[in-house]
């Protein structure tokens, strides 16, 4: 299983063309899985911007458990998601 995960990570990391990446997502993930990934990303962004967890849960119609998981991820000093969001949002506010 880990070898398969490593292989797919390698494939994704080598894919630099947006259209090819989109096609890869369509090939690998179902519509529902892609929607879930997009929803999770939205949750991370809203949490990073300071939107209250209960509002996100209500707006997205998801459980607070999903929101709490995202919040814990962002609190982790080694979180790649936090670094990416910091690069996206903090740089644009300078």
3-class DSSP string for 40-78: HHHHHHHHHHCCCHHHHHHHHCCCHHHHHHHHHHHHCCC
Asked if residue 74 has pLDDT above 90, the reply is yes
Question: Could you tell me the pTM of the whole model?
Answer: 0.85
Q: What is the pLDDT of residue 91?
A: 65
- pLDDT per residue over 4-35, tens digit each? 999 999 999 999 999 999 999 999 999 999 99
Domains of the chain are: 2-93 (1.10.1270)
Residue-level pLDDT at 94? 42
pLDDT at 90 (0 to 100): 84
């Amino acid at each position: 299983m880990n070898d398969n995960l490593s292989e797919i990570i390698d494939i994704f990391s080598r894919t630099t063309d947006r259209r090819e990446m989109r096609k890869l997502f369509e090939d690998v993930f179902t519509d529902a899985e892609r929607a879930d990934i997009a929803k999770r990303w939205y949750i991370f962004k809203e949490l990073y911007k300071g939107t209250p967890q209960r509002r996100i849960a209500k707006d997205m119609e998801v459980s607070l458990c999903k929101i709490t998981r995202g919040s814990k991820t962002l609190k982790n000093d080694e979180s790649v998601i936090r670094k990416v969001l910091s690069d996206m949002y903090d740089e644009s506010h300078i």
